[in-house]
Structure formats: C-alpha cells, structure tokens
Chains A and B, each alone.
Chain A
Amino acid sequence: MNSEEARQDRERGLAFVVKSQLLSVEDVSRALTRMAHEIIERNLSVEKLIIVGLQRGGVAIAERLAKQLAHIAGVPVRFETLDVSFYRDDIGSNPLKTSSRTTLSGNLAGSTVVLVDDVLFTGRTIRAALQALSDWGRPDAVQLAVLVDRGHRELPIRPDFVGKNLPTSLSESVRASLEGVWLGVKPQ
C-alpha cells in the first residue's frame, strides 16, 4: 500500500488490526439484496429514486444497490456520488479529508434520495450530507441505507435500511465493503 492510500485510510479511520471477520462476501451480497427489496417495499415509485453513494466508502455499495434495484424493478435507477468534505463540522479542528468526485447534479425536487454509506457511526457524515443535499433543491424525501450500523451516534440520525447492526466499543473500528465486514482495533 502506498503512502497516499495509507494516509487516506488513516483519514477514514480504516487503518486497523483485524480482530474478526463478521460478514463474508456472500453475507454482504445477501444483506444488500434484502436491503434492495426493503427499499422497493418502502418506495412504490422506483423511478423517483436517486441512490447517492457517499464518498468514499459508500460509493461501491450504492452502485451495487442501484443495480439490484434496477434488476428487481425492471427500470433504470439513477446512481450518483456525493463528497461531503466541504460540509463537515470538524473543518479546522481535524485533518482535512481528501475530497473526491461528486456526480450529483440538477434539481432534486420531486425525487426520493437514498443516501448510502458503508458504516454509520457518529452520524456527522450524514449531517454533512443532508446539508449538502439542500444545495440541490428539495427532494420529496431522504432515506438512509448503511451496510453496518455500529452505534455511538452523536446526532439524532437513524438509518432506514441496515445491512447489519453491530454493537461496538469506541476502541474498536469497523471496515465494511462489498468484500466483507471486519471488526478491528485502532492502532495507537
């Protein structure tokens, strides 16, 4: 791993020592299929959906969800990415996050946005995402899908669709991707 990747991993809190694997690649796949069905169950008009992956961990998961939704519903489902670095509330106190691509464009009025992230933790990324979304207009509804909810919320934010509820301690960290979910300890 080169130093840039290592730095980005550190920023994302992902550099850690693995303690145990909690979900396999198949488990993740099954969880996402179930979440896709739940999203369709909640949203009768699939064509209004915009699946928005949060940079960087949420993007691959959102893309997979959008494909599954399109497959199940038989209609194309819009997939976009959103980077919330410039909206974070820790700017000036924590190291800056490296910004990534945002593809979201146009006006969101009349749409239902499903924000997708890998791990839901303090809720601050989602707060930043909600603030960012308002710059693209007023969607009819915003929902939240996460592969893992690890608890420790610092804001009144609750996911609508969850792959796996995972009670953790603050000394632990979680890595979640399409390849699986791991529990680890943060390096000191």
Chain B
Amino acid sequence: MSIRGSNLLTLGGLSREALLEILDTAESFVEVNQRTVKKVPALKGRVVASLFFEESTRTRLSFETAAKRLGADVVSLAVASSSVKKGESLRDTIATIDALGLDAVVLRHRSSGAAEQVSRYVPHVRVINAGDGMHQHPTQGLLDAFTVRQVLAARRGLSGSETGSSLFEGLRVLIVGDIRHSRVARSDIAAYATLGAQVRVAAPGTLLPSDISNWPVEVVDNFDEALEWADVVGLLRLQQERGTGAFVPSLEEFTFTYGLTQERAARLRPETLITHPGPMNRGVEVDSAVADLPSALISQQVSNGVPIRMAVLYLTVAAPKENS
C-alpha cells in the first residue's frame, strides 16, 4: 500500500515498500535541491495550505519550501492572527480555507488525531500530518530514517536507494528520552522497525507510555550499556510545553540520568550516529559539545527536511487516487 494518492496521517501500518518508495523519491529531490534552479513543475497550479496551530520553525519552513519547489501555490495561515483566536472551530477554519480551492493541507495541531479528523472534513483534499499532539510526526520519522540511510550508504560509497532496506537489517537503534509525549518517537520507531531495525528505548519510567509493551521495542534497563550497543542514538526533546517537567524530579536529574553528556558520548563507538529532531535543549537532553560532533546528524536532518517533504507532497498530491 503506497502513499500515492492518499493522505499521510501516520507511519504506523505503512509497508516497507511504501517507506522505501518515499525515501527513494526523496533521493531524486536531494538532487533537485542541488541544482541552480531548485524547482520542478510537478505540482504546478496545485494549492497547498499550510496550517500550523502549534509553533514550528523547521517543519513549517521546509513544508512550504517543498511545496514551492514543486511549483505549487502555498496558502499559509498565521494562526496567531487568524479567526482561530476569536474561537473559530477547527472544522470551520478548514471549511473556510477549503472554499479557496485546495489540493492538500499540511496540518500541525496540538491534539492527537487532529489530522485524521480534518481528513474526514475534507475527503477530497490530501491531508499531510505535520505533527499532531503526542500521536505522530510522519515526515520527521521519514527524514530521520532517510538521513541515517544516506550517511550509512555514503560510508560504503553507495547512494541510499542502491542499498534499499539492507542497511536497516539488524541496525541497532536506541531512542532516548521523553518517549511518552513524543510523536517523533512514535514515527521514528514505526519507520525504523518496519525497515528492519532493532529498536530499544531508554527513559525514566515516568516518561514511558503505559502501552509500551505493545510497541515493537525493547525497554533497556541500563542506559550506559545500551550506548555501547547502539549504531544510532535518537535523542528526543524534553517537551516542557507538554508538561514533561512534572514527570521528572528536575531537569538536572534528567540530564544526570538520561542526558547525552560528554562522558556518556565517550562510551559510543566512533561510528555511532546521533540524531535529534530539534529544537534542542542544549545542556538538558544533549550536551552542547556533543550536539556539534561530526557524528551528530542534526544539520543533515534539517537539510533533508525539504526533499523528504517534496517526496511526500509529490506522491500524495501528484498521484491520482489509486484503487478507485
């Protein structure tokens, strides 16, 4: 089941082939982004609405850049200065924007399930989830897997698409931190596990979701040992806006037990990669010097945001609906 012609609400349930199709398509868009003219006419004349009900820098910028580089027109709602502030409901806001003639909506919302709800309000529009509450952030999961594959393939002198999913077979991925509140963790785990990686998570018990036993992951007891095991360490932001502060005794305590400090980073094997979705709390989940190590892929993750989102918009919006 490809995402061609459908919505992208979650990575849960997508097949390995569907994920690889997105990663391989993104690789073509990396090349487009290296050209002097960084634009193709694949979505010429289409209208993409960017609706961010929650703050965002990189996701919003890269989605809007991606849509423009595909030739689409972007309608962007500045929520802070819109009728949302007068109490307009999500449904009415969507209906108003839809009246302008939309092909796709990119939605960021603080409520889990908001993207799915919008997809029912406007079934003729492709909905792309740009982060909904604590549920999913599909394009972040995709770009993390894409970045890891790109770096591992380059070490072998290959392009990512030449390696398919082979570099994920048995890849040891350790996701650390606020798993409970993290939509990035949920999308990352779905992507890595479907592609064939072994995923473990490390977090204080209070920051683990109650249904963790149903996830395709193992919970590690000893974080320091797990660091030696890992090929990839995926750090998460401690989400103070979602009340994480109440789940740990103090930020210092969290850093002391689960932060990637310089001492801990020294336990990593030299080839181990570090990812972080940003924005970073330097000195909390990651030491500032560790964040700037060459094995930290944070800036590559940001640069891959545009090609991954171009691939998602291209496949979902440009394709006619399949199986209909």
Contact = CB atoms under 8 A, between A and B. Distances in A.
A80 B318 CA distance: 27
A174 B31 CA distance: 31
B28 A102 contact: yes
A135 B32 CA distance: 10
Contacts of A167: none
Contact of A87 (B21, B31, B34, B40): B40
A105 B31 CA distance: 9
B189 interface: no
A182 to B, nearest CB: 28
Contact of B36 (A87, A98, A136): A136
- Main secondary structure, interface of B, reads loop
Given A99-B25, A131-B41, A92 B320 contact: yes
Contacts of A99: 24-25, 28
B41 A101 contact: no
A101 B320 contact: no
Interface in A64-121: 83, 85-87, 91-96, 98-102, 105, 107
B37 interface: yes
Contacts of B31: 101-102
Interface string B16-41: 01000100110010011011110111
B4 A96 contact: yes
B interface bracket (residues with beta carbon within 8 Å of A):
20 to 34
**Size bracket of the A interface:** 20 to 34
A31 to B, nearest CB: 31
A4 interface: yes
A96 B28 contact: no
Contact of A105 (B35, B42, B159, B319): B35
A135 B71 CA distance: 13
B39 A135 contact: yes
The listed residue with most A CB atoms (<10 A of its CB), out of B32, B40, B70, B315, is B40
Nearest to A89: B41
Interface of B: 4, 17, 21, 24-25, 28, 31-32, 34-37, 39-43, 70, 159, 314-315, 318-320, 322
Closest 6 pairs (CB-CB, A-B): A86-B40, A99-B28, A135-B37, A86-B42, A96-B319, A91-B318
Interface of A: 4, 83, 85-87, 91-96, 98-102, 105, 107, 131-132, 135-137
